[in-house]
């Protein structure tokens, strides 16, 4: 089995390839091949063949791509879209203009109390007029000592500050 490992199984006669060329040339020289092909062509056939073929074939027209097709419609639609966008933006900005007179004082106070604006006492003092400052310094109500103590006890984190 080891000896047949690299063999293909095909066998040729001895000296087959050495004598092959001689045998082939000998067969050709016997002239067993016919001299004519068996096909006939009329005289002058190839002279007018090219003209006949060109007459039957229609010349190919190159495909023309127009540069300005349907641009009128596209231009009109784009201008209309731009105008609609401009009118929408202008309408929104004119309708949404809010002045300080439109906002009531309670809304501003709640906005500041919620911590949405960081205002220092100095900033608030700059916004107040002199009359407002005097009205704040003179309490209009008399606050009892008990209510003041209750308020401070409930709202101060460190009660030791009350007694100092």
pLDDT in tens, 37-47: 778 888 888 88
This prediction's pTM: 0.23
Reported confidence tier of residue 97, pLDDT bands at 50, 70, 90: low
Domain that holds residue 121: 100-163
What was the pLDDT predicted at 82? 94
- Asked, for residue 86, whether it belongs to a domain, the answer is no
State the residue for tokens 């000592």: 145
Whether residue 93 contacts residue 87, with contact meaning beta carbons closer than 8 Å, is answered with no
In whole angstroms, what is the distance from residue 13 CA to residue 26 CA? 19
Domain annotation covers residue 147:
yes
Q: Any residues with CB less than 8 A from the CB of 136 and at least 6 apart, and which?
A: 128
Does residue 109 lie within any of the structural domains? yes
Examine residue 67 and state whether it is found in any structural domain, yes or no: no
Chain segment 120-138, per-residue pLDDT in tens: 778 877 777 777 667 766 6
Asked whether residue 20 is domain-assigned, the answer is no
Task: Quickly state the pLDDT bin for 85 (edges 50, 70, 90).
Answer: very high
Q: What's the confidence (pLDDT) of residue 84? A: 92
Task: Provide the number of structural domains found in the chain.
Answer: 1
- Domain assignment present for residue 107? The answer is yes
Residue 162 pLDDT: 62
Q: Are 159 and 153 in contact (CB under 8 A)?
A: yes
Residue 106 lies inside a defined structural domain of this protein: yes
Residue 38 belongs to a domain: no
Q: Is residue 149 within 8 Å of residue 140, measured between CB atoms? A: no
């Amino acid at each position: 089995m080891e000896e047949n490992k690299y063999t293909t199984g095909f066998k040729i006669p001895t000296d087959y390839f050495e004598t092959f060329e001689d045998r082939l040339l000998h067969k050709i020289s016997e002239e067993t091949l016919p001299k004519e092909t068996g096909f006939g062509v009329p005289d002058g056939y190839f002279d007018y063949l090219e003209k006949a073929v060109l007459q039957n074939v229609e010349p190919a027209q190159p495909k023309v791509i127009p540069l300005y097709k349907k641009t009128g419609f596209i231009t009109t639609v784009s201008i209309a879209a731009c105008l609609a966008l401009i009118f929408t933006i202008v309408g929104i900005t004119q309708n949404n203009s809010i002045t300080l007179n439109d906002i009531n004082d309670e809304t501003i106070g709640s906005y500041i109390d919620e911590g949405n604006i960081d205002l220092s006492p100095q900033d608030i003092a700059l916004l107040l007029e002199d009359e407002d400052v005097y009205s704040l310094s003179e309490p209009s109500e008399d606050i009892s000592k008990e209510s003041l103590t209750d308020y401070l006890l409930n709202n101060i984190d460190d009660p030791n500050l009350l007694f100092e």
